Amino acid sequence: MKRSFFQITLLFVCLLPGLAQKPSFYLGFEQIFDNREYFTDYGYPQTIFGVRINPGAYISFNSKHHIYAGINYMYEFGGSLLGVTPQIDLYYSYQSDQLDLFLGSFPRKERMDYPLILLTDSLDYYRPNMEGASIRYTWSWGTVHGWVDWTGRETEEIRESILAGFDATLVAGEFYLSTIATRYHLARTTASDDLNKLRDDGSLVAMLGVDLSDRFGLDQFDFSSGWVSTYQRDRPAESVWGQGWLTQLDIRKGMFGVSESWYQGDPSPLLYGDRLYSHGDYGRFDFYIDPFRNPRITSKIGWSLHWLPGDGLYHSQQLLIHISL
């Protein structure tokens, strides 16, 4: 009893400086419309239409230490009130000039920007938070970043699943070298009659790029190209590896932007990647505008073409608006 009382008292003393701080509040709002006209077995023809609200509060112990708590809720039009499982914001962050640390349930989009072959954009709609940890170290000529996202605890109904990754970027003037590695593990449930196989998949990526934004007087002119290797393993079978080449181009000036990506190689098996890459030869072209261009408002009003040689040309439209207060 005395020991428990001492521990509670010690915890209270440690938290007292933070409790004395006045909390700050934040509010995020998203309008989501993504209409996908994919008449192919390689993609899901669907319309994603809804809104997301993200209210919360945080306490700052000083300029580096922060604790956040909030709710991240999406209502999908035509669905039930809790048709999309809400996520919570509940995390600790430490941010300095060089170190960026997050522990808990926190926004994924602000921590990384991976190619769609690795992480599909619908993750930002339905599961915008990572639940685990992210740590990034930055210096004058590069960054290293590691993260883990715990996506399921093993029960009789749920299969244990973990998604993790590592990325590093080295910069030399206008040029940069970016490397990424990901791994996804999907185990069985605890049910005695579970016949699921343990599955692993992952990737290794190495991209050489150049940023010519200043040279051309543009807000963004980024070109990168490189090697992508993916694998899938359904245990006890051995891993099956595939390889391909990915090229990306992003150009933006004022409210207008265009982006292009092209992948050629073996079909990608990654469960968390964009399914269109399972074709093995896929080009995507995005044309969009951002009419607001406000520090607190970002938007994408766009039209995308999806070219699958031998299968067809498809398109999609997006109206995405994010307001942060």
Check which CATH number belongs to the domain holding 31 and give it: 2.40.160.10
2 part of a folded domain: no
Task: Tell me the residue range of the domain where 224 lies.
Answer: 21-324
The answer for residues whose C-beta is within 8 angstroms of residue 243's C-beta and 6 or more apart is: 227, 228, 229, 230, 265, 266
Please tell me the distance from the alpha carbon of residue 313 to that of residue 57, in angstroms, as a whole number. 45
Look at residue 178 and tell me if it is in a domain.
yes
Residue 9 lies in a domain: no
Residue 19's SS3 state is helix
Residue 80 is encoded by which pair of tokens? Answer: 């039930």
Provide the whole-model pTM: 0.87
Show pLDDT as tens, one digit a residue, over the chain (325 residues).
555 555 555 545 555 555 556 889 999 999 999 999 988 888 888 999 999 999 999 999 888 899 999 999 999 999 898 899 999 999 999 999 899 999 999 999 888 889 999 999 999 999 999 999 999 999 989 999 999 999 877 666 667 889 999 999 999 999 999 999 999 988 777 776 666 778 899 999 999 999 999 999 999 999 999 999 999 988 888 889 999 999 999 999 999 999 999 999 999 999 999 999 999 999 999 999 999 888 899 999 999 999 999 899 999 999 999 999 8
Residue 78 CB neighbours (<10 A)? 9
Q: Distance between alpha carbon 191 and the CA centroid of its chain, in Å?
A: 31
Instruction: Evaluate whether residue 16 is within a structural domain.
Output: no
For residue 181, being part of any structural domain is answered with yes
Structural domains of the chain, count: 1
DSSP assignments along 257-282, one per residue? EEEEEEEEESPP--TTS-GGGGGSEE
Write out the H or E segment, with its range, that includes residue 13: helix 2-19
Measure the CA–CA gap between 21 and 225, rounded to whole angstroms. Answer: 48
- Residue reference for tokens 């993916």: 230
